[in-house]
Chains A and B, each alone.
Chain A
Amino acid sequence: MNLFSKWFGNKPIEQKLILSNLIVIILVSIPVNIIMLTYEYFALRSHLIEEIRIQSSIVAESTAAAVAFHDESAASETLSIFRDSPYLLEVHLVLPDNTILQSYFPTKKTFIVKEFKASTSIEESFTFSTMTIKKPIYLRQQFVGSVIMVNSLYIFYSRLIWYILIVMLVLGIGFIFARLLATRISKMIVKPLSELTDLTQKIMREKDYSTSITINNTADEFGSLSRSFTEMMSQIHSRDLNLKHLAYYDRVTSIPNRHFFEERISQSVDNAKKHKINCYLLMIDLDDFKIVNDTLGHHIGDLLLKNVSKKLSTILRKDDSIFRIGGDEFAILIENIEDNKCVKQIAQKIINAISTPVELEGHQVKVGASIGISSFPTYSHDVITLMSTADSAMYVAKGKGKNSFSVYHK
């Protein structure tokens, strides 16, 4: 039983359902068929015995006069009526003195009966294959002899075998249909679960919790599981987005942070290599930001950073990327631009915007911006050199005094 439980437990649910259905069908059909077969055995047997009894009565009745007159030819003629009887093997008409008046063998002369004794009582005896019946013959209530009939039970066994064969055939066909039906039903039951399993495996493989799933909106447990799974996926996706936002975006300004910048600059450089275009990097350092922070506090400092990022977003195109990469440092990635001139114009716009005083919670706040500009592949050959050259240019700009920009050159 333990082995079966282990074996059964390891089977897929679809096979478990099919197997359990088939096991139930077999467990139900076996006793039902045994009962039916037993009933049929006794019904067929008693029916045949009744037929034989009736036939012996007919023989006794129809031969009575011939036996009374000892008319052998009339007796023979009467008995020959039973030549087509399917079970009669031999019949003997015995006179009261135990002599045989007439014997009749529809097929072959067998003489299964060994003792010929007339009797006024009805006697029946059975072997595996024959039934012998002895019946008294009366003519108008006058005992005139006995009829002894030997009948084959072959027809009974033949009918029984046919019955068993037909039952087995019907069972076989029924079993095949049950198997097909069980498979179909099992597939129907297991399908949503399989889909859900495939989906979870795909999500595990691709680690993509944003994958949309078709909700199995049935009222059963699978529907409930599907809805719960969808809700869980949505929560995980939301949490991931949140984590991603925390990981890639600056908490103060809500623009991408240094981590995001490092990934993005690599993509931009690759893209520039691939399409043979220029990629510009602008490194911005705010002038006097430390003073604002120290004198007006971090709160105002944060508000100022937000203001700066807002100004940058307004100035730049939609495709350009802005990052906060340090305390008062910003980086801008510009792609698909014609030449240095345009970049310089953008840098000047930025300086102008940032250097414009701004009122933050009743304080007039003014800062400046120093911008270092570099490009790939003009002034650098990879991400690191692009960043270092832009950084160098920024320090050059800082050296020039506040609110200026510098383009890197070798």
Chain B
Amino acid sequence: MKKLILIPFIVAIFTIQNIQAKALPEYTIKAAYLYNFALLTQWSSSNENQSDEFNLCFYKEDFGIASDTLKNKIMHEKKIKVSNINSIEEAQKCQMVFIRKEENIQELQLVQTLSQSQVLIVTDNEKIENSHITILSENTKLVFNVNLKYLKHTNLAVSSHLLKLAKKIIQ
């Protein structure tokens, strides 16, 4: 994963120039990926209308400064609100949840509960089978799989651009 340091320019994806401190490149890249996943996913209006903000949640995970790059950016005409959450109830209020790589019973339960809701589940743990998008490390690059099998049960519409770039599409 440390080889990802070789991709320093990723930071430039974001127009926010006022990053105060250096973020770990892996988190920065993942934050950029999360932003793009959100950009290329369409939520049904009923779900989006629930809040004036776009809730991007990190379940038991803290991206630190990297997550700050996402704050106050506009996503689907709403301001992004980055939250660190610890419970399934909190997760249900999010549009997008990132679940950390480490796995235990809570994460699995969370995924089980949210997999058919309007929450886009992104993880970097390939063992969590019923997440919607899985970020993987391949050589020096990050790639991702899209799980259409579970996305079908939601009202989430993933752009063909995203499917085209996916390493693997699970159906």
Mark A residues whose CB is within 8 Å of B.
64-66, 68-71, 74, 95-97, 99, 139-140, 142-144
Contact = CB atoms under 8 A, between A and B. Distances in A.
Interface string B12-51: 1101000000000000000001001001100000000000
A70 B161 contact: no
Contacts of B40: 65, 139-140
8 contacts: A65-B161, A68-B39, A70-B9, A95-B12, A96-B13, A139-B36, A139-B40, A140-B40
B12 A140 contact: no
A140 B39 contact: yes
A65 B165 CA distance: 8
A70 B11 CA distance: 11
A69 B165 contact: yes
Contacts of B13: 68, 70, 95-96, 144
Nearest to A78: B164
A225 B67 CA distance: 107
Contacts of A95: 9, 12-13
A208 B49 CA distance: 118
Given A64-B161, A74-B164, A74-B165, A69 B36 contact: yes
A143 B15 contact: yes
B137 interface: no
A92 to B, nearest CB: 15
Contacts of A70: 7, 9-10, 13
A144 to B, nearest CB: 7
Q: Chain B binding site: helix, strand, loop or mixed by DSSP?
A: helix
A172 B15 CA distance: 63
A194 B165 CA distance: 88
Nearest to A66: B165
Contacts of A143: 15
Contacts of A64: 161
A144 B165 CA distance: 16
Contacts of B7: 70
A65 B9 contact: no
Nearest to A97: B12
Given A64-B161, A70-B10, 4 more contacts: A74-B164, A74-B165, A96-B15, A99-B9
A97 B11 CA distance: 9
A217 to B, nearest CB: 86
A150 B33 CA distance: 31
Contact of A97 (B9, B39, B159, B162): B9
Contacts of A71: 165
Interface string B136-171: 000000000000000000000001011011000000
B164 A65 contact: yes
A65 B162 contact: yes
A100 to B, nearest CB: 10
A125 to B, nearest CB: 25
A68 B15 contact: no
A174 B3 CA distance: 73
Q: Which 9 A-B pairs have the closest CB atoms?
A: A65-B161, A97-B12, A96-B12, A140-B39, A68-B36, A99-B9, A97-B9, A74-B165, A71-B165
Nearest to B38: A140
A69 B164 CA distance: 12
Contacts of A139: 36, 39-40, 161
B31 to A, nearest CB: 13
B18 to A, nearest CB: 15
A372 B131 CA distance: 159
A72 B122 CA distance: 23
Contacts of A97: 9, 11-12
B35 to A, nearest CB: 8
A63 to B, nearest CB: 10
B159 A65 contact: yes
Q: Which of B10, B13, B39, B164 has the most chain A CB atoms closer than 10 A to its own CB? A: B13
